[in-house]
Amino acid sequence: MDGVTATGIRAHARIVARADGRGGTALPVLEGEGPLAPRRTRSSGSEAKVMLVGAMSGPLGGDRFTLGVRVEEGARLHVGSAAATLALPGQAEGEARYDVRLDVADGGELHWMPEQLISAEGSELYVTTRVEAGAGARLVLREEQVLGRVGERPGRLTSRLTVRAGGRTVLDQELACGLGAPGGWDGPAVLAGHRAVGQLVVVRPEFAERPVEARALGACAAVVPLAGPAALVSAVAPDALRLRRLLDEALTGLG
Amino acid sequence: MSRAALLVLADGRFPAGGHAHSGGAEAAVKAGRITDAATLEEFCRGRLHTAGLVAGALAAAAALGADPGELDAAADARTPSPALRTAARRLGRQLLRAARSTWPSSELDALAREFPKGAHQPVVLGLAARAAGLGPEDAAHCAAYESVSGPATATVRLLSLDPFDATGALARLAPELDRVADRAVAAARRVRAEGADALPAASGPLLEVGAEWHAAWPVRLFAS
Amino acid sequence: MHLGHTHDGPAAVSADARRPDGTRRALRVGLGGPVGSGKTATVAALCRALRAELSLAVVTNDIYTREDAEFLLREAVLPPERISAVETGACPHTAIRDDISANLEAVEDLEDTVGPLDLILVESGGDNLTATFSKGLVDAQIFVIDVAGGDDIPRKGGPGVTTADLLVVNKTDLAPYVGSDLARMSADAREQRAGLPVVFQSLRGGDGVADVAAWVRGRLAAWTA
């Protein structure tokens, strides 16, 4: 941590996963501090598991967090988080930023499954997630946003998710919602009163040859093939619990 | 530059296939999310700031001469729903036919050769504007306007809505539409230096999800 | 129309008589007329009558997506790849007259996917008496009315009745039951149409669709001449 400044906290975390040559995955780099503390937990088989433990609440207004994960060839990594991330208003001026960069090499596999991001009333957060997946990389990425705690109006949350797979951008989506977001964000074209919204991106090399079949799961969720070796589950729901259920079911359906 | 050329291109009767598409309104009506003029306006507002902004920026970038292939790939990445990608390419192909006949141009012919099955409609729209002697501001306005005029017209048919109410909603959106077009052009001007990543990627989850739901219906009035 | 334009472009723009590779494209015949007059039944009968001698395909324009296409598929008058449905956004007359772009895509796609065709029938969704096909889309059009819709329709005229290249008065077998005067319909039609042909037919008996099929053969002979 670079310390607390008038412009908020700057925090950085880095994880590198590398095949250990014995069929397992080593973590030669596992660093981070304060609000972004990665901890290695029990591995299962060849997969290393890391839990992000938030030692402080955050991000607050003016904070700037960056998180980089690199999964090298043949390594398998699962990243989760111990609790939901709560975006809160802060003392410092301006929006908070949270930039996540995930690199998965050819033959690497990453499960990026953090808990929800909750946009509390009065908060202002811009979060970007950028994925670079190599030609033979495998990825499961879950992203869930909850607009406001129970009974609370949402803060302003803007979230951009960019996924590159095999050298081309297969998904580039930005969702802006909450107080001060461009008009219509809670209307019938965008969220229509739903307070939880999520995406699940699955990259598998075999999808290039055999893309998933597009399927609507009612009027609030769909599984779609992207223009590349990837599939997307997109869903809106009244609350976090029902959103998770939709995404879990859809992921199971992808086999 | 001819202002009247913009009127020709933006005319709802320009024969480029738009009349058969509802811009997601048919799905939103069936889901009970559009029920009257007020909910139509809110739908259009949301579509304007998401799909409309992206379409406006793609069209403006094409009008500025950015590589159509790169823009088309950027449109794919910003359109996760395959039903919407198909509709956008079909409309692009129809628009290209109309534009090549209306404003013959070697750039439009080259686009037809590169994309025999159609490029994303906003990309074609930008090149059509270019062929008509129009600029990026015109292209962005045209794309942003189409993002709301289509659903408004469709909802008049779907709900037997008073057409004056629907037109009134469009008129109230006009100042926001100007701002969206400005943002679109500003982003498009950055494409030359920064590439297609500079284009906005604003999305409406229910537009994407609704399009897949709609595509699966056995009976519907509109193609999308 | 763009007949006589050069043909080295990447794709045809409108009603070019030749395909981009220089070969002559299929003759396109439109069938329009009011709801329930028997357009789809006539298309089905034409397919059965002509499919052995001609390579043909059908484009339907439905109010509701694919209804007429589904009927033709169920009746198995043509293999499914030769039947294409255009979605019309609740305005079938727009798709055949004011904005023909989707139909042009459909006819060109059929020629591209099922190979050289002699004839493409473009069926309009059921509409009113004013609906006619654009000359940018079809080379000839047939307007189908029926005796049960009222024997005053020919007298009333309208663009379909007066200008169609062929007027078909369908369901003549029903005339005694609905009190329609066929002689009067015939006289009115001839007066309205200034010498353009009229066919009275019943698909349930007599020669069925034979007269219409003969007329189509004549148009095709003129097209390929």
C62 or C146: which carries more pLDDT confidence?
C146
Of A175, A183, A222, the CB nearest to B203: A175
DSSP A212: P
Place of tokens 């379909």: C160
Q: C5 in a domain, yes or no?
A: no
**Predicted confidence (pLDDT) per residue in A116-174, tens digit:** 999 999 999 999 999 999 999 999 999 999 999 988 999 999 999 999 998 899 999 99
Q: Does B82 touch chain A (CB under 8 A)?
A: yes
**Predicted confidence (pLDDT) per residue in A191-246, tens digit:** 999 999 999 999 999 999 999 999 999 889 999 999 999 999 999 999 999 999 99
Q: Which domain holds residue C120?
A: 27-224
What's the pLDDT score for residue C10? 56
Whole-angstrom Cα distance, residue B94 to residue C43?
A: 26
Q: Quick one: CA torsion of B181, B187, B189, B193, rounded to 10 degrees?
A: -170
CATH assignment of the domain containing C151: 3.40.50.300
Whole-angstrom Cα distance, residue B41 to residue B178?
A: 16
In contact, A203 and A138? CB cutoff 8 Å: yes
Interface test with B, best of C21, C99, C105, C113 (most B CBs within 10 A): C99
- Using an 8 Å CB-CB cutoff, list chain A residues near B184: none
Read off φ and ψ for residue A145, nearest 5 degrees. Answer: -120, 135
Whole-angstrom Cα distance, residue C92 to residue C97?
A: 9
**Predicted confidence (pLDDT) per residue in C157-206, tens digit:** 888 999 999 999 999 999 999 999 999 999 999 999 999 999 999 999 88
Residue spans per domain, chain A: 4-136+144-197
Q: Does B52 touch chain A (CB under 8 A)?
A: no
Q: C104 in a domain, yes or no?
A: yes
What's the pLDDT score for residue C17? 76
Q: Does B31 touch chain A (CB under 8 A)?
A: yes
Read off φ and ψ for residue C82, nearest 5 degrees. Answer: -100, 10
pTM above 0.90, yes or no: yes
Which amino acid is present at B14?
F
Find out whether the peptide bond into C79 is cis, omega within 30 degrees of 0: no
Query: What's the domain count of chain C?
Result: 1
Q: C9 in a domain, yes or no?
A: no
Q: Is B50 helix (H, G, I), strand (E, B) or coil?
A: helix
Q: Which two tokens stand for residue A163?
A: 């996924």
The nearest CA of chain B is from the CA of C108 a distance in Å of 11
Cα→Cα distances A58→A11, A84, B179, C69, Å: 11, 10, 33, 58
User: What is the set of domains in chain B, with CATH numbers?
Assistant: 3-9+20-215 (1.10.4190)
Give the closest residue to A169 by CA, choosing from A193, A139, A133, A141: A133
**Predicted confidence (pLDDT) per residue in A83-101, tens digit:** 999 998 887 778 899 999 9
Question: ipTM score here?
Answer: 0.95
Whole-angstrom Cα distance, residue A125 to residue A88?
A: 9
Chains A and B touch (3+ CB pairs under 8 A): yes
- C187 alpha carbon, distance to own chain's centre: 24
Q: C10 in a domain, yes or no?
A: no
Q: C19 in a domain, yes or no?
A: no
- Using an 8 Å CB-CB cutoff, list chain B residues near C97: none
